[in-house]
Amino acid sequence: MGIRLGKFGLASFTTLFALVVNGCDNGSNNAAEYDYEVIDNERDSSAVTVLDTIYDTIQMPPFDEVLVYPPQGGDTLAYLSSSTADTPNSSALEVDPGASSGMEPPHSSSSEMSSGVILPNSSSSGIVPDLSSDSRPLRSSSSKIEPPPESSSRMVPPSSSSKGPVLDFSFYNGADISTVQEYERWGAKFYDVDGTEKDVFTLLKDHGFNAIRLKTFVSPKAQYGYAASGCDHDAEAYADKDHIIAYAKKIKAAGMAFLLDIHYSDNWADPGKQIIPSRWRSVTSSDAMADSVYNYTYDLINSLKQVNATPEMVQIGNETTPGILIHVPNSKTDCWGNGVDKASTAINGDMGTSAGKANAGKYFKAGIRAVKAVSQDIKTVLHIESIRKTSTVDWWMNEIFKNQKVPADVMGFSAYTAYGDDKPDKWNSLFRNLISTYPNLEFIVAEYNGGESDNTYSYDGSRKKAVDMVRGLDRWIGAFFWEPTLSGAWGPSLFDWDGPDLRANKKAFDEYKVEF
C-alpha cells in the first residue's frame, strides 16, 4: 500500500505530536549506498578489479557470481560508483498503452482520496487524515513544527522475547508497523487495553500477533524520495537500510517473525506508480537494471544476516500489479511520487507491453536470486492488489509464473473491503482456486484492514475473519494487518491517540485477538 496526505486536524497546539519536523538534508546514512552506472568493458578494463574491491568491502560474493544477468556479448556491466543520480532523460519516455494493456485501474485515482501521517491529539478517536493507498497530493505549506524534547522518561521500553506467550510460527499472524519507528523517535509510548505500558512488540504479541512486516526504500532521502527534504517524513532517512537493520534487530529480540517489503523505489511503490530509484536512472539496459536489483537486494539481505536479523520472508516489490521499475519523476512529481512519466521501453517493467513483461520477469528473478544467494531458507514473496477482479489476478499470475517462469515461493495480496474487495467470505472462492491452480506456491494476505469505508468499521468480526479464513486454507501461511496505528480510507486503526501516546482500542483488540 502507498499512503496519501490529507488535512491535518489539530485539537490544540500544545497537544500536537509532531511528525512534520525540521528538514534534514544530510543525505543517506547508508554506508553502502552506491549508484549504478553502465560502462563499456573494452574502454575500462579496470572495472572488474574495482568491483571486486567494493564487493570485498561490503561482503558481497565475487564479481562473477553477482552479475546473474551478464549482458549479451559482454559489452556492458553494472558498475558501482559514488556519483550523484542523473536527471532522468525525458526524451526517452514511452506513451502509456492505455486500455490495450489489459490493466485494471489502481484502488482509486489520486483525485478520489488523499492521505498522510496521523498527527495525534487528546481525543479518544485520534486525528484521522484522509488516506488512500495509491498517491498523495502536495503537502501543506504550513510551517514546520519542532518535536518535543527527548528525555529518558519518554524512552520506549525495551522489547523482550521473554514477555508474552511462546509464539507458534505455523501461521504468520502479522502486522505492518513501519510507521511506528517514526513515532518512537519522539518518545511515543504504547499502552495496552488495561492501561499497562508496553513496547509495541510485547503488546502485539500479547494479543496473538507473531510477525512484523516492514517496508524499505532504496534512497528515501533522495529528491522525490519518501524522506526528501521538505516532505513530511524528512526528519530522518526513514525506511532506508540503516533504519531497517535497527528495527529488524528489535523484531528478532522480541522473538517475532519478520517479513521485509522491498519497494524497489525511493518512495511508495503501488498500482499508481513504480518509480525507478534515483541511483539507477542512468541505467540503459534491462540486463544492467537486473544487475542493480540483484546487487542492492543482496547487500540489504546479507547486511541483515550479518546482525542475526535475517527475514523469514522477503517481498520482491510492493503491489506490482502494473509491473515493477516503470516510472521516472519529473518537475511536477510531488513528495509522494504522484505525477510521473514512463521510463524508456528498454528498461521499464510495465506489464502492459510485451517488452515490459519480459523486463518485469527479469527483475523479479534478479531479486529472488539475490535473496536465495544469502539464504535458501528465506521465502520470496510477490505481491499485487485488486483481488476484487479475479481476471486481473489470473492474468498477472499466469504471465509471471507460467510465461515468465518467476520462481517465487509465496504469492501475496492486498485485500481491503473499503477498496471494493468485499469481506473475507467473498475471498474464499478465489483463494481456493489459486491453491489448485498453483500447487507449488504458498500464499499470504500481505495487507488488510477490514474497514467498510473511509475510517469506518462495524466491529463485525471481519478483521478476525480475515485471519481465520486464510488460516484454514491449505498453503495459506499468513495475514498481515496494515499499519495498526494508522486510520484512513482503508478503515480505522487498532490504537487511539492520547496526546503523544498510543492506547490500544479495547473494542478493536477484543475482537481481533487470536488464540494460538
390 phi, psi to nearest 5 deg:
-65, -25
* Distance (Å, whole) CA 502 – CA 495: 6
> Strand 476-482 vs strand 172-176: parallel, antiparallel, or unpaired?
parallel
What confidence tier does 100 reach under pLDDT thresholds 50, 70, 90? very low
Report, as an integer, the average pLDDT of 120-131. 31
* Distance (Å, whole) CA 335 – CA 273: 13
What's the whole-model pTM score?
A: 0.73
> Strand 313-316 vs strand 172-176: parallel, antiparallel, or unpaired?
unpaired
> Strand 323-324 vs strand 349-350: parallel, antiparallel, or unpaired?
antiparallel
Report, as an integer, the average pLDDT of 107-125. 33
Is 313's pLDDT higher than 70?
yes
Burial of 58 (0-12, 13-18, 19+ CB in 10 A): middle
Residue 350, strand partner residues: 323
Angle made by CA atoms 174, 226, 95, in degrees to the nearest 5: 105
Give me the pLDDT at residue 513, please: 61
Region of poorest pLDDT, from 161-175, 284-298, 425-439: 161-175
> Strand 495-498 vs strand 172-176: parallel, antiparallel, or unpaired?
unpaired
* Distance (Å, whole) CA 248 – CA 255: 11
* Distance (Å, whole) CA 128 – CA 255: 32
* Distance (Å, whole) CA 437 – CA 202: 38
More confident residue, 77 or 253: 253
Q: Answer for the pair 122, 498: CB distance below 8 angstroms, yes or no.
A: yes
Report, as an integer, the average pLDDT of 470-481. 97
Is 437's pLDDT higher than 70?
yes
CB contact set of 272 (below 8 Å; sequence gap of 6+): 2, 106, 110, 134, 135, 337, 338
381 phi, psi to nearest 5 deg:
-125, 135
DSSP states of 431-450 as a string? HHHHHHH-TT-EEEEEEE--
What confidence tier does 511 reach under pLDDT thresholds 50, 70, 90? confident
Give me the pLDDT at residue 301, please: 98
Give me the pLDDT at residue 515, please: 53
More confident residue, 192 or 114: 192
Region of poorest pLDDT, from 42-56, 134-148, 351-365: 134-148
Is 446's pLDDT higher than 60?
yes
Give the 3-state secondary structure percentages of the chain, helix then strand then coil, rounded to 5.
Answer: 30, 15, 55
Q: Answer for the pair 332, 277: CB distance below 8 angstroms, yes or no.
A: no
What confidence tier does 1 reach under pLDDT thresholds 50, 70, 90? confident
C-alpha cell of residue 347: 528498461
More confident residue, 1 or 112: 1
Report, as an integer, the average pLDDT of 297-314. 98
Q: What are 162-192's pLDDT values in tens digits?
A: 445 678 999 999 999 999 999 998 899 999 9
What confidence tier does 499 reach under pLDDT thresholds 50, 70, 90? very high
Report, as an integer, the average pLDDT of 457-477. 94
Is 358's pLDDT higher than 70?
yes
